[in-house]
Chain A
Amino acid sequence: MFYRESGQFKSTYAEDSQIFPIRQDRWVVGGIVAFAFLGIPLLAQFGWVSNYAFTAILTPFLIFALAALGLNILTGYAGQLSLGTAAFMAVGAFASYNFMLRIEGMPILVAFVLGGLCAAAVGIVFGLPSLRIRGFYLAAATLATQFFIVWCLTKVGWFTNYSSSGVITAQKIEMFGYAFDSSMSKYLFVLGIVSVMALLAKNMVRTNIGRSWMAIRDMDMAAEVIGFRPMRTKLMAFAVSSFYCGVAGALFAYAYLGTVEPEGFNLDLSFRILFMVIIGGLGSILGSFLGSAFIVLLPIVLNVAMQSLEGAGLPLPSGIGSSIELMAFGALIIFFLIVEPHGLARLWQIGKEKLRLWPFPH
């Protein structure tokens, strides 16, 4: 009833090709962004948003969303399956660490960008096999990235500044003399970076470079015939995707964990991010955020549910608690792959289409 686009006339192509051509969408998204930047910090002032919410839910949600966004560019938009996401994150984190460590007075944002660029370079190198192989075989090749990078960071002491345990402690985040050390300030720092990068990603996927990725994904032969160069397009997808993952990795180390070791970026993490992309929606920017929210929130929700079961006098046998999360994940992945391969983002879109016509069916 309220979600109507009738009466919203567009008289220029610029108006029609906005990110959100429908006015109600603009309001909602604008509202959410404003709430994230202003509303949540305000609520925190009144004590309604706890430190725990910032450090365990909001910040990791945003960081994982950024990593999922990176993987979505590569897998969802350009159609190249990758299992090396965590490795690219590791490159970003450790490269940023070394730039901060070894160059005096390095601004943190520049270090993050350089870290991302290092990840992009690694992405290009390990993306080379994609020119020859695809699908599962490419996934196996990216698996090699995963193991090689983690091995490399563990073996070569220089990367971890010869720390005996291989653990690095990320430097403090400081910008313009302001130290981001409270959990809320870190959240805002991450939110700022993630919002800007999400906007840039959205712009990329709706312009020529995004179309080139989707063209290669959908029909590489035709893409070549109309003038897209497969090599350049695929490597560009690897580079941009790895850049996003690299920055996410740096944020993972600096704003979330504080101390990381190479083993923290293992295959498990790669798979978690892949699940986010599958559940959230392949080929959707929004999907990356939905998938990340889902996977970050699911364990918490399950935990609360089990505690309330116990509270209701139905104690579950010990051991089930930790396995139920894995079971739920497995079941959901299978469910989404069968029922809705385009994930939560697609469900959201269907919902919107229904809402446009509601209360009429057609």
Chain B
Amino acid sequence: MSKKSGEVILSFDNISLSFGGVKALTSIGFDVREHEIRAIIGPNGAGKSSMLNVINGVYHPQQGEIVFRGQKRRGMNTYESAKSGIARTFQNIALFKGMSVLDNIMTGRNLKMRSNFLLDAIYWGPAQREEIAHRKAVEEIIDFLEIQHIRKTPVGRLPYGLQKRVELGRALAAEPSILLLDEPMAGMNVEEKQDMCRFILDVNDQLGTTIVLIEHDMGVVMDISDRVVVLDYGKKIADGTPDEVRSNQNVIDAYLGVAH
């Protein structure tokens, strides 16, 4: 595989976010290149999830500049962000518990659906064709994630590892250009982690999706990511390839503590 990383697709400059007096992020700046796997790591409370929330418009930073595909982005809400091709998964699984796996993944395609509710109500002609076409796309994702056997099961009944996989499926259904993964491997056993790594690498490799992920398992992060940014107490303390980050003194201090 040739070196895949391309142009800078998303860049942050001087991002600051605070909730009242609590500073979640202070002057963060880094960039994400097309087709790369970019990891954000850091100890608990470092502001990693806040950073993802800034990217997909859940939080609006008080300061700083986000440039996405060469365009300055300000005040973008979650809807616009989804529309522009950013999909994500959540740290605590945020699936629709009452719906089947199939329906959950189908919701991921909602922005691609053209038919209105009146056509849906008669379920005839274009509405049916559209539904079937999307079903087909969703079935491909189901195949890819190897969850054919549970497609009609309500997600509430599934074990944790499979739920994580379904959530990835829902994000993939949107055919995103950037995929944000918030601790995709948290709470998994080794086999489940291996499966998940394989899916992430395959998505990155086959679909060329840019991936920004937060993860605590250092082995995984160092193995699969192209570049890593390290946050601590809302500040960026290191940025670079896994090897550079591994030997960075600031990172070692943040993780292991400093002798006083």
Q: Give chain A's interface residues, CB within 8 Å of chain B.
A: 12-14, 17, 200-201, 203-204, 206-212, 214-215, 217-219, 221-229, 236, 240, 283
Contact = CB atoms under 8 A, between A and B. Distances in A.
B115 to A, nearest CB: 7
B120 A217 contact: no
Contacts of A201: 121
A224 B135 CA distance: 21
Q: Is the interface of B mostly helix, strand, loop or mixed?
A: helix
Interface centre among A215, A223, A283 (most CB of B within 10 A): A215
Nearest to B151: A16
A218 B79 CA distance: 18
B73 interface: no
A222 B94 CA distance: 6
A219 B132 contact: no
Interface string B54-74: 001010000000000000000
Contacts of B132: 12-14, 17
A119 to B, nearest CB: 17
Interface of B: 56, 58, 78-79, 81-83, 87-88, 90, 94-99, 103, 106-108, 110-111, 113, 115, 117, 120-123, 127-128, 131-132, 135-136, 139, 170-171, 174
13 contacts: A13-B132, A203-B121, A207-B117, A209-B120, A210-B120, A211-B106, A212-B107, A215-B107, A219-B95, A221-B58, A223-B96, A223-B107, A225-B56
Contacts of A218: 95-99
Contacts of A207: 115, 117, 120, 123, 127, 131
A203 B120 contact: yes
Contacts of B99: 211, 214-215, 218
Contact of A215 (B58, B96, B136): B96
A219 B156 CA distance: 12
B131 A221 contact: no
A209 B98 CA distance: 15
Contacts of B88: 225
A236 B117 contact: yes
B97 A227 contact: no
Given A218-B97, A223-B107, A208 B113 contact: yes
A189 B179 CA distance: 53
B98 A214 contact: yes
Contact of B117 (A223, A226, A240): A240
B110 A227 contact: yes
